[in-house]
Amino acid sequence: MASGGGPPFSLGVETHQGLAALTRAIRAEEDGKELRKELAANMREALKPGAQQAKSSIMGMVSLHGATPALRTSIARKIRPEVKLGGRWSGARVKAFKTKNIRGFANAPKRTNRASGWRHPVWGNREVWTHQRGKLEWFDRAFRGREGLYKQAVEQAMEDMARRIASRAR
């Protein structure tokens, strides 16, 4: 489940009204900062199995060369759940972040996921280039059929926090 019209590198939960209301309620509490941290941690925890599945998926990509640092490992390290509560975007998603310092290949997660692949010089020789394909839709396939499960887990974390705040008001 890709968010927005951008690259397929986030699994988003689109319950903005409920999340915004919950964030406002947390802010109104005396210990709101701690509650907010706890909610974010619980939402990230709900998405950890999805992040692990995506990491396993990229590690299954065939390695053509023994170059270091290993591309698959570098991409896997950059996959993690992300939670934002407030601002221009609020929600929870699993995201593959850019790999900035890996062989000058910042967009490795994006390029290895798409059908068209990428071009690179052969062994650093800028005169000879080759075209390479990764594991098609490794990120997308990691979540296929499980989107509802992760969305439900994140919503459950939100619901638990809402119940906790509501029980205080009594």
| pLDDT tens digits for range 81-135 | 999 988 788 889 999 999 887 777 888 898 888 888 888 888 878 899 988 888 8
Which one-letter amino acid corresponds to residue 143? F
Cα–Cα distance, 101 to 11 (Å, whole number): 25
pLDDT band at 48 (very low <50, low <70, confident <90, very high): very high
What pLDDT does residue 40 have? Answer: 95
pTM, two decimal places: 0.79
b/e code 39-49 from CB counts within 10 Å (16+ = b): bbebbbebbee
Q: The dihedral of CA 137, 147, 93, 7: what is its sign?
A: positive
Please give the torsion angle defined by the CA atoms of residues 24, 25, 29 and 34, in that order, rounded to the nearest 10 degrees.
-70
Residue 22 — pLDDT band, cuts 50, 70, 90?
Answer: confident
